[in-house]
Amino acid sequence: MTCKLSSIFFPSLIAFWVGGASASSSRSVETQLHSIEQVYADFLDSHGAIEAIDSGLQAQVSGHGRRFWSRRNSELIKYLLIEFNKLSNRPLNSTEYRAFLSMRRTFAELTAAGSESSAPNARCSESSNQQASQGELRAALYACFDSLGNQIEFEGERFTRVAALQLLQEIPEPARRKALFLAMLPLWQAINAGNEPSSPYRRLIGSASVEFEQERSPVHAAARSLDIDVPEVERWLVAVLESWRAVSGVDSGLLEPWDYRYRYALASRTLATTIPRDELLPLQERFDRDLGADPTAMRVVFDIEPRPGKAPLAYSDAIRIGRNINGHWRPAIARVSANDDRGGLGILNELVHETGHAVHFMAIRARPAFFWPDTTFIEAFADVSSWSVFTPEWQGKYLGVAASRADGLREQYSGVMLDVAWSLFELRMLRAPATDPNVLWTEITQRYLGIAPHPELSWWAVRSQLVTDPGYMINYGLGALMTAEIRAKTAAAIGPFDVGNPRWYSWTSANLLRFGAEVEVTELMRRFLGHAVTPAALRKDIASIGESGPAAP
């Protein structure tokens, strides 16, 4: 059964259809593309509305419930499938061809992925189905992060995964840290079973490796965004990890995996009482306001209370995109989702990161085809402000007390290095999917992070991105290189911003954010930096940690 489209809500679509075949044929192919682009913008808005409703955040968007948005979305999908197919072999100039490819790629991703960022519909137990498709397997494994990852039992209490990882930074007794660490075992076992070749994860990575072979993986996309190849990506990741190895005291003795986060979290423990859960939003909002990016004025929607069935990862999305309508700019509406049932420096860092995404979306002034920027750049920019919370300047102003610069840097980069290690792990797993993931993770973390080997444990399986989009972690690993470069260039251009700087948002919007995907990242960063992105700035920052001596035991 089809839905009759209303001209009230589908002006661009109705106008295009009413013209008929003869009118359509008389237009240039570029004019046709622009008309289709407005329908594509409607599709993005309907998808964003469905995501917001499915997240449990609200029952309606713009006065309409899910049934309305679902019908609208289905009609738009049908139309776009036909029109994209018609345009696939038509001549377009280079800019319009890029716009067409960008729309078609995002459209394919959104229609294939469904509602990954909202509450999962699949059941974790379905991951054991050996006949499950790759999409079904991803959905089932994602569900495990809700049913198991957010239900961690420890000392008579139940914790979310984020809270458990935060608690590993705080518990002083090694035996209790080990007990909490092993309380995550049900999640790891759901993801990788007994680590046999037929385990859910190993089946998933085997399937995903086909895209890697065809150079269609997130790793290849990230490499292209920096104008390098995959072997160079691997060399850069290894170089960054070697820099950390040189300053982190790895050679002085191995840490147990349950002790890694505690070892480098002295800053968090120093500041623990100053960042209670109720202060997360006020602190984040005050900092962004001081940066000229007031989330309240921008109407950013925050949804950070945990609830049953809620998406188990923190993320940001657009309820609607920013776009020109009848000659007037209609701003985007962005939302931030998280499960913050505890305070703490690490959780605040994550919230500032997600808010960085939200204000990024608000700054984009590109045409609808180019609204969604490159993924590596999106992740990199969100950390430009979030890394500030680890500095003594930020802590002194917003908390009234500060940890040492060295302790803040150690904590910041101990987390970044986990992301870099996961990036290297995924790259190598995708390249050689028959590899034992536990052995590979043990090799990487022992050499570069100084973590004692435990190949009997699949303790790498604590990031949902590993199962929702194999290879996605590269955006955090490579993104860190870009973050370090952007922070250095920005401070040199407009002055320090760790304690706020009212020029920051307008300046970064004008020089980086407004383009969306209109300017390819390689060219954007060359314009901004005056040179190509390299690991140099990140490695320099990491090396500065060694100037202050070893970390406290």
Query: With helix as H, strand as E and coil as C, how does 271-333 read?
Result: HHHHCCHHHHHHHHHHHHHHCCCCCCCCCCEEECCCCCCCCCCCEEEEEECCEEECCEEECCE
pLDDT, tens digit, for every residue of 397-436?
A: 999 999 999 999 999 999 999 999 999 999 999 999 999 9
Give mean pLDDT, residues 75-99. 90
pLDDT at residue number 26 = 36
Tell me which residue has tokens 């904590």. 411
Three-state DSSP class for 68? helix
Asked if residue 12 has pLDDT above 80, the reply is: no
pLDDT at residue number 111 = 87
The answer to whether 297 touches 449, Cβ cutoff 8 Å, is: no
Asked if residue 21 has pLDDT above 80, the reply is: no
Q: What residues have CB less than 8 Å from 156, skipping those under 6 apart? A: none
| Phi and psi at residue 329, to the nearest 5° | -80, 125
Give mean pLDDT, residues 144-152. 93
- The fraction of the chain above a pLDDT of 90, given in percent, is 84
Q: What residues have CB less than 8 Å from 425, skipping those under 6 apart? A: 437, 440, 441, 444, 460, 473
pLDDT, tens digit, for every residue of 173-221?
A: 999 999 999 999 999 999 999 999 999 999 999 999 999 999 999 999 9
pLDDT at residue number 118 = 39
Q: Phi-psi region for residue 63, left (φ > 0), alpha (ψ -120 to 50) or beta?
A: left
Average pLDDT over all residues of the chain: 91
- Strand (E) positions, 115-218? 152-154, 157-159
For the ranges 10-24, 183-197, 508-522, the lowest mean pLDDT is seen at 10-24
Distance of CA 538 to the CA centre of its chain: 19
Give mean pLDDT, residues 270-293. 97
pLDDT, tens digit, for every residue of 335-393?
A: 999 999 889 999 999 999 999 999 999 999 999 999 999 999 999 999 999 999 999 99
Asked if residue 552 has pLDDT above 60, the reply is: no
Give mean pLDDT, residues 509-519. 97
pLDDT at residue number 548 = 57
Nearest to 309, CA basis, from 339, 340, 277: 339
pLDDT at residue number 510 = 98
Cα separation of 125 and 115, whole Å?
19
Place 27 in a pLDDT band, splitting at 50, 70 and 90: low
The answer to whether 103 touches 81, Cβ cutoff 8 Å, is: no
Sign of CA dihedral 341, 304, 165, 276: negative
pLDDT, tens digit, for every residue of 520-547?
A: 999 999 999 999 999 999 999 999 997 6
Nearest to 363, CA basis, from 327, 328, 329, 325: 329
The answer to whether 138 touches 201, Cβ cutoff 8 Å, is: no
Cα separation of 506 and 521, whole Å?
20
Residue-wise DSSP of 347-412: HHHHHHHHHHHHHHHHH--S-GGG-S--HHHHHHHHHHHHGGGGSHHHHHHHHS----HHHHHHHH
Asked if residue 15 has pLDDT above 50, the reply is: no
Asked if residue 239 has pLDDT above 60, the reply is: yes
Q: Which two tokens stand for residue 249?
A: 């005291």
Give mean pLDDT, residues 257-269. 97
pLDDT at residue number 24 = 42
Cα separation of 451 and 257, whole Å?
6
- 10 Å CB burial of residue 56 (0-12, 13-18, 19+) is middle
pLDDT at residue number 551 = 52
CA distances from 401 to 286, 398, 534 (A): 17, 8, 34
Sign of CA dihedral 368, 66, 140, 185: positive
Give mean pLDDT, residues 461-478. 96
Place 10 in a pLDDT band, splitting at 50, 70 and 90: very low
CB neighbours (10 Å) of residue 488?
16
Asked if residue 53 has pLDDT above 50, the reply is: yes
Three-state DSSP class for 88? coil
Q: What residues have CB less than 8 Å from 453, skipping those under 6 apart? A: 442, 446
pLDDT at residue number 309 = 80
pLDDT, tens digit, for every residue of 286-333?
A: 999 999 999 999 999 999 998 888 888 899 999 999 999 989 999 999
- 10 Å CB burial of residue 67 (0-12, 13-18, 19+) is exposed
